[in-house]
Amino acid sequence: MSNIAMTRVTRECKEVAQASDITEAGIHVEMTDNNITDIKGLIKGPDDTPYADGMFEVHMSIPDQYPFEPPKVKFVTRVWHPNVSSQTGAICLDILKDKWAASLTLRTVLLSIQAMMCAPEPSDPQDAVVAKQYISNYPMFKCAPRSVEKSKTGLTGRQEDAATKIRAGQRERPMPDGRDGYFFCTGNELLLATATYWTSVFADSKREVDKDFQKKVNRLVEMGIREGEAIGVLSCNNWKLEQAVQYAFG
């Protein structure tokens, strides 16, 4: 790793650790085995979302050319979200790809991921199955349009609002086609129930989950399927047990 990268990463990790607004938002970082190129991030699930009360681990791999190249980031904790692969944890976020700039920081990355958990972008999904579930069950009502211009932090106006609203317990959602100006209201029952269940199982949330989901998971486990695989198969098949069995054994 270059001296520039080492200096930047060390400084940014200290900034995240010392920033009161970041720690209050439930974001923490630590090095893996004192290796500055492997950073573990912990992100608290935003309040009033299906991810609330969960703790989500992300892995950030710092390239030699940092900050001129973005860190490679993925979820270690499994999460049910349109912009995260339910299989690999890969994240679809523009600042981790073509919208990266050397002025952005690990703080920006972690805040953006937390904001993304509040404001999915189903028009640019990482997991097509989750995105389809999100869009097909999407309830909405019109509100005032919001800016999507980038701020100096690297967050869009909507993402920055979402990051702020995490503290206030408010939730903002885009339309399924990616347009702004619409809020998501609770009613997308299948997505909410699935994401809540995943958060309970994989992110140690203590929230109540759908008991029928648990019965179906137990049924597949009895058939010899591991619990994590059973949850994934059922989720991908909208919790239809017969369809999930055919998918698993077909």
Give the active site residues: 92
User: What type of residue sits at position 194?
Assistant: T
With 0-12 / 13-18 / 19 or more C-beta atoms within 10 angstroms meaning exposed / middle / buried, residue 122 is buried
- Rounded to whole angstroms, the maximal C-alpha distance in the chain is 57
Q: Is the peptide bond before 63 cis (omega within 30 degrees of 0)?
A: no
Structure tokens at 149: 């211009």
C-beta separation of 234 from 244 below 8 A: yes
Q: Which of 166, 160, 136 is nearest to 147 (CA)?
A: 160
Q: Is the peptide bond before 67 cis (omega within 30 degrees of 0)?
A: yes
- Residue whose tokens read 């912990």: 42
